Amino acid sequence: MVFGRRSKSRTCDQSTFYTQLRADPAYQNYLGAVGSGLANGMLGILWEESRSKAGQDGFWSKTNKVINRAPPTTLRFKTEKDHTDLINGCITLLKQDRMLIDVRWNQVTKLRAQANNGELAKQLNAHTKPRHEYQVIHPPRTPAPGAPPIPDKPPEMQALAKGLAWLTHGVHGSTSAYQNAIFKYKKTGFPLGADAQIVTKIWMDLVGNEAGVPKWRIPVMGSMYPSSIGGTHLLRKIFLTSAGTGWPAQGDLKWEDWAMYFFSAIMTIQAFPDGNKRISRTVYLLVMQSGGIPFKAPTDALGKKLANM
């Protein structure tokens, strides 16, 4: 009787892993979309994720569900098929992330068109969240007998108070970081700058230093959103396509459209590993405050609809 030859075990280090993926058309397509810096970052994520799935015996297996807290520097495979399964799985994730980048960018493009034609402001005004749902409304103060009337707070202070109440509604613990972010980045006119740096700094201020928050969100099969690598590419692209925009004059209600655009676009792309809703809400309030317009809160349902969640 003739027996089949047994599959030989093999190994794969980081350099070999990178070389194999870089040679695949899926990686080349991904590279063309996001650029070399982010594409290399994705390879790093895939390598670290692969290492963490190695068993305690050092062998990688696609059925392994336990995260290895002390992963090996070189992966071992019991069979050639196991190695092929790993490479093919990474290629599939690259294809999926590339596809989701396009899906989410199409949504951002629609949102920008709606901002340009005034549709986002119309939806905001048709779906404004009632103030009592996020802010405790105190009755007017009665002056002491013989004292002069107590003047109302200036409109800009009222708008800020409403906005901060909405922004921090449901937040447990201190809310000072949110208020600090608004005061830190508020300016006259467009407050977010020419690139993604300010939005990223806001994330670091609010979320990025919390314990347990990873640097990146890895690609996951079946996810609605791209990885943080894909999301970072989209965040940069949002600002790239905003260059040269003629922002409204101070106090112009057209700022409602742009506040809604950045609010829903940031939720749409999910660029950060955590806290995307918090960042989008902070940016929304920041744009409204910097534009000098009265605060209006979008309903939760409207936010989910526009972000295609």
* Predicted confidence (pLDDT) per residue in 66-109, tens digit: 888 888 999 999 999 999 999 999 999 999 999 999 999 999 99
Q: When comparing pLDDT for 184 and 5, which is higher?
A: 184
**Is residue 220 a part of any domain in this protein?**
yes
The candidate with the shortest Cα–Cα distance to 72, out of 46, 88, 48, is 48
Residues 6+ apart with CB under 8 A from 72: 51, 54, 58
Phi-psi region of 35 (alpha: psi -120 to 50; beta: other; left: phi over 0): left
**Is residue 246 a part of any domain in this protein?**
yes
Coil, helix or strand for 166?
A: helix
For residue 192, pLDDT beyond 90: yes
Residue 54: beta bridge partners?
Answer: 60
Residues 6+ apart with CB under 8 A from 190: 245, 247, 258, 287, 290
**Is residue 145 a part of any domain in this protein?**
no
Residue 5, pLDDT score: 46
Residue 1, pLDDT score: 41
**Is residue 141 a part of any domain in this protein?**
no
The candidate with the shortest Cα–Cα distance to 87, out of 26, 4, 158, 36, is 26
Residue 4, pLDDT score: 44
> Is the Cβ–Cβ distance between 131 and 267 less than 8 Å?
no
- 184 lies in the same domain as 81: no
pLDDT in tens, 248-265: 999 999 999 999 999 999
> Is the Cβ–Cβ distance between 193 and 229 less than 8 Å?
no
- 90 lies in the same domain as 116: no
**Is residue 79 a part of any domain in this protein?**
yes
Structure tokens, 254: 């057209």
pLDDT in tens, 7-49: 567 899 999 999 999 999 999 999 999 999 999 999 999 999 9
How far is the CA of 135 from the CAs of 97, 160, 167, 209, 256, in angstroms?
Answer: 39, 12, 10, 28, 20
- 44 lies in the same domain as 180: no
Q: When comparing pLDDT for 61 and 237, which is higher?
A: 237
- 271 lies in the same domain as 235: yes
Give how many domains the chain has, as a whole number.
2
pLDDT in tens, 98-148: 999 999 999 999 999 999 999 999 999 999 999 999 988 776 677 777 777
| Structural domain span for residue 173 | 103-135+152-306
- 95 lies in the same domain as 111: no
**Is residue 63 a part of any domain in this protein?**
yes
**Is residue 5 a part of any domain in this protein?**
no
- Model confidence, pTM: 0.90
The candidate with the shortest Cα–Cα distance to 82, out of 105, 55, 61, 56, is 61
- 173 lies in the same domain as 296: yes
Residue 2, pLDDT score: 43
- 16 lies in the same domain as 123: no
Q: Look at the chain and count its residues.
A: 309
CATH number, residue 111: 1.10.3290.10
- State how far the Cα of 275 lies from the Cα of 96, in Å rounded to an integer: 23
- 112 lies in the same domain as 45: no
Question: What is the arithmetic mean of pLDDT over 53-65?
Answer: 85
CB count in 10 Å sphere of residue 189: 13
The candidate with the shortest Cα–Cα distance to 286, out of 175, 165, 185, 142, is 185
